[in-house]
């Protein structure tokens, strides 16, 4: 993999680390997360009378979608089928278009599918929809299969990457966090190839879009997805409310035979279709199925989930997050992961009492959120590919 990355600066010399103690603590916390039941410890939402509503997307306008001409019909033969209609799916579609594929030949499937490279790894998913722990484990399976365990440079931010024509290399500046109380490490490395796969708010030059903040909020991310869809004529290429049941290679037809089930809304029968695709791209991501512990089934109060947030319970709306219905209420939130550390401060502004239920601690560092400054954005994007 080339020369090892060496930092330009050393961590704070005054900060002493007992690495044996740190490793022991990590092992201790990992053991807490391991459960003898595996993913069986979680509720399948469709099987729970109390939580069944969380299995459905609360923001779907079924009547509006049902009134539109279908973008995909049973028996269609298409060039490109992208499994996933989030930022990953959008970016794949854009890259295909930039390589000469017509937007009319691309369909983005908005639903769930199986994990990639199953045949190569020999892995069999435990459920129709895999839970977070299994997806994390499967990422490890892929890393082991292709010897990638030690190739990650974690806790890092790429500050810039500039092409050096003389060296025929990308000169890349990286800032790596070392944890609370420790100075970040600044490093400069040279790379023959750079692949951008960070997912969101790419293509600033083509769209002319400037993010409003260092870390963009949900409504802006949704708006920017629309900017990309409009720029590359992808608005009508989505096949939403759909689940891919299987996709199998037909060597004689030289096509992927793909079976899809599409929901039509409450009281309407699902639509089953089989289509053929020349190319299939898997971009469904890993955060596509809410996870709920079984112990919640005894709770009789209103329940919502961050993946299916019900503003009818809390008050507010996606673009006006004034959670006024929580005033004077006793509120509990389960989990302290990346989502929770964003939600908890907002709940605390309104709830009469807020209880945070934590299984194992996660690292939390200052966000340093700020509005985008024009000069900073110009310096960040100048001379770089979109």
Q: What is the DSSP track for 87-124? A: HHHHHHHHHHHHTT--GGGEEEEEEE-PPTTHHHHT--
Q: What is the pLDDT of residues 308-319, one digit of tens each?
A: 888 999 999 988
Helices 87-98/218-231 angle, 10° precision = 20
Q: Is residue 264 part of a domain?
A: yes
Looking at 5-9, 120-124, 247-251, 272-276, which range is the least confident one?
5-9
How far is it, in rounded angstroms, from Cα 159 to Cα 83?
31
Number of domains comprising the chain: 1
Tell me, yes or no, whether 237 lies in a domain.
yes
Res 151 pLDDT > 80: no
Task: Establish if 150 belongs to a structural domain.
Answer: no
Residue 226 belongs to some domain of the structure: yes
Contacts of 291 (CB under 8 A, 6+ apart): 42, 131, 132
Is residue 324 one of the residues assigned to a domain?
Answer: no
Confidence of residue 3 (pLDDT cuts 50, 70, 90): very low
DSSP secondary-structure letter at 320?
Answer: B
In a domain, 167, yes or no: no
Distance of alpha carbon 123 from alpha carbon 138, whole angstroms:
8
- Amino acid 197: pLDDT: 60
- State how far the Cα of 276 lies from the Cα of 350, in Å rounded to an integer: 51
pTM reported for the whole predicted model: 0.65
Q: Is residue 5 part of a domain?
A: no
> What beta strand segments (E) does the chain contain?
77-83, 106-112, 156-164, 169-176, 185-191, 238-250, 255-262, 271-282, 330-334, 353-357
Domain limits at 261? 68-113+200-287
- Classify residue 313: in a domain, yes or no: no
CATH of the domain at 208: 3.50.50.60
pLDDT digits (tens, 9 = 90+) for 231-245: 889 888 889 999 899
Whether residue 281 contacts residue 81, with contact meaning beta carbons closer than 8 Å, is answered with yes
């Amino acid at each position: 993999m080339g020369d090892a990355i060496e930092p330009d600066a050393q961590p704070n010399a005054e900060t002493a680390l007992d690495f044996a103690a740190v490793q022991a603590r990590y092992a201790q916390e990992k053991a807490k997360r391991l459960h003898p039941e595996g993913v069986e410890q979680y509720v399948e939402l469709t099987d729970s009378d109390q939580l069944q509503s969380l299995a459905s997307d609360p923001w779907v306008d079924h009547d509006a979608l049902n009134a539109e001409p279908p973008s995909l019909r049973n028996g269609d033969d298409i060039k490109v089928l992208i499994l996933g209609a989030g930022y990953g799916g959008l970016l794949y579609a854009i890259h295909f278009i930039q390589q000469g594929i017509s937007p009319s030949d691309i369909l983005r499937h908005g639903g769930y599918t199986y994990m990639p490279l199953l045949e190569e790894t020999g892995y069999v998913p435990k459920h129709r929809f895999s839970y977070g722990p299994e997806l994390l484990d499967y990422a490890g399976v892929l890393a082991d299969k292709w010897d990638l365990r030690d190739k990650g440079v974690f806790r890092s931010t790429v500050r810039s990457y500039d092409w050096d024509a003389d060296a025929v290399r990308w000169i890349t500046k990286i800032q790596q966090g070392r944890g609370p109380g420790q100075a970040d490490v600044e490093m400069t490395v040279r790379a023959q190839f750079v692949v951008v796969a960070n997912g969101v708010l790419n293509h600033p030059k083509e769209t002319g879009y400037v993010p409003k903040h260092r870390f963009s909020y949900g409504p802006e991310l949704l708006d920017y997805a629309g900017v990309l869809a409009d720029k590359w004529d992808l608005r009508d290429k989505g096949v939403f409310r759909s689940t891919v049941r299987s996709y199998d290679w037909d060597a004689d037809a030289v096509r992927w035979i793909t079976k899809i089930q599409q929901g039509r809304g409450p009281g309407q029968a699902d639509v089953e279709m089989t289509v053929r695709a020349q190319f299939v791209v898997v971009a469904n991501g890993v955060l596509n199925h809410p996870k709920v512990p079984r112990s919640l089934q005894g709770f009789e109060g209103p329940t919502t989930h961050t993946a299916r947030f019900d503003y009818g319970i809390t008050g507010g709306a996606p673009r006006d997050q004034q959670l006024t219905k929580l005033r004077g209420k006793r509120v509990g939130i389960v989990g302290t992961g990346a989502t929770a550390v964003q939600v908890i401060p907002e709940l605390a502004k309104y709830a009469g009492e807020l209880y945070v239920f934590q299984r194992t601690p996660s690292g939390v560092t200052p966000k340093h959120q700020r509005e985008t400054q024009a000069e900073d954005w110009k310096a960040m994007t100048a001379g770089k590919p979109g």
